[in-house]
């Protein structure tokens, strides 16, 4: 959740009369018209001055839930956390101020401009609106097709990151790059955001998109036996949850799950205190408690959390599609990602795990030219291409 895009979602449980102009859904051309540099992002978010900022549509309860879930982290202190970071990643990281995420700040993040799509000859994103879950609004998806005239292409159903509450600003260039580099159709889901929409609303949106791509395989020019799901950070959470849900529903087969530093356990940073060596940069324990509490509607790490809502809490991972999981060694999610990989391996699920030394959450997005970032990206793209080339979901 290192970066965010201005994304305007219409909540499904608040009075539209109090909806401010900044929260109106913008047209795609307006939404993508301005690019925000990472340094500008850091400076602007640090200067919000949020004291006294009041939200009219009832977001405060989620903050209270996160406070209820808080636990003190009692592990040996690290004198200089920056000393643990890859030197190539360090200069850009130090441009980011330490900021404690709040719901008010999450709303402000939604208003920041995101990166426009890459210009042609990169494949251009096409906006579509598809049927949503029963009784819910339509779901907006973005379709990127690198070869419209070809048939039988593989497809990645992509879920974006952003802490369940926001959207990463590099969304469009990112999915364009995946489509080009992996020669697959990418359909990215603009699922409803927390805390306006609680679990299972976003899961239902993603599942509606999965059923839609499967049913419209001929129109999309795809091979319905080569559908993968994937995402980064919170998008990886959604992808893992979707793979579990699809397994249990047994309606749409999935060939592969691509989990890029996913958040898989709501207990991390709450009932499972974080070691002081991890989770110090870009996404920390307090942000994690807030994000999960906002999604779940109950305190993260508590006994009130529905088991089906959290991949790490699901009783069995048997029968899930093959997986690639990648995470930095300094990422708050490193232990839960390694544990999930262990469970998959023990269940007989073909699994690849990559832990990048001296790397923090979102390092590859923050410093894409670093050697560690390039190796990381090359690994998951290679795994996705191999899954498409060799795998067939049945």
Residue 290's SS3 state is: helix
Active site residues: 233, 331, 361
What are the start-end ranges of the E strands in 87-184? 126-130, 139-144, 153-159
Helices 60-69 and 103-110, axial angle in degrees (round to 10): 130
CA distance 325 to 353: 5
> Among residues 91, 121, 128, which one has the least CA distance to residue 366?
91
Cα-to-chain-centroid distance, residue 318: 23
Total residue count of the chain as it appears in this document: 394
CA distance 257 to 287: 25
User: Which positions ≥6 away from 377 have C-beta within 8 Å?
Assistant: 364, 368
Residue 297's SS3 state is: coil
């Amino acid at each position: 959740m290192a970066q965010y895009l201005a994304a305007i979602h219409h909540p499904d449980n608040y009075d539209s009369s109090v909806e401010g102009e900044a929260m109106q859904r913008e047209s795609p051309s307006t939404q993508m018209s301005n690019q925000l540099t990472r340094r500008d992002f850091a400076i602007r978010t640090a200067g919000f001055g949020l004291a006294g900022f009041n939200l009219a549509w009832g977001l405060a309860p989620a903050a209270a839930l996160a406070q209820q879930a808080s636990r003190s982290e009692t592990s040996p202190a690290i004198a200089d956390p920056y000393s643990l970071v890859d030197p190539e990643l360090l200069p850009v990281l130090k441009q980011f101020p330490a900021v404690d995420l709040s719901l008010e700040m999450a709303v402000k993040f939604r208003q920041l401009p995101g990166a426009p799509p890459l210009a042609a000859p990169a494949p251009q994103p096409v906006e579509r609106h598809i049927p949503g879950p029963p009784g819910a609004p339509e779901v907006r998806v973005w379709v990127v097709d690198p070869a419209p005239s070809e048939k039988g292409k593989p497809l990645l159903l992509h879920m974006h990151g952003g802490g369940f509450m926001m959207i990463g600003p590099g969304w469009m260039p990112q999915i364009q790059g995946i489509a080009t580099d992996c020669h697959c159709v990418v359909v990215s889901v603009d699922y409803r955001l927390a805390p306006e929409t609680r679990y299972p609303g976003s899961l239902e949106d993603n599942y509606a998109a999965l059923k839609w791509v499967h049913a419209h395989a001929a129109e999309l020019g795809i091979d319905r036996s080569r559908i993968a799901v994937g995402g980064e950070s919170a998008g990886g959470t959604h992808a893992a949850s979707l793979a579990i849900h699809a397994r249990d529903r047994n309606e749409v087969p999935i060939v592969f799950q691509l989990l890029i530093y996913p958040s898989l356990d709501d207990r991390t940073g709450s009932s499972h205190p974080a070691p002081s060596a991890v989770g110090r940069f870009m996404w920390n324990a307090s942000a994690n408690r807030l994000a999960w509490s906002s999604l779940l509607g109950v305190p993260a790490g508590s006994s009130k959390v529905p088991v089906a809502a959290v991949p790490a809490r699901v009783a069995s991972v048997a029968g899930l599609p093959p997986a690639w999981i990648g995470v930095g060694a300094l990422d708050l999610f490193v232990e839960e990602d390694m544990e999930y990989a262990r469970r998959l391996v023990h269940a007989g699920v073909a699994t690849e795990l990559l832990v990048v030394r001296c790397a923090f959450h979102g390092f590859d997005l923050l410093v894409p030219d670093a050697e560690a970032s390039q190796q990381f990206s090359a690994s998951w793209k290679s795994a996705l291409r191999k899954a498409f080339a060799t795998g067939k979901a049945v």
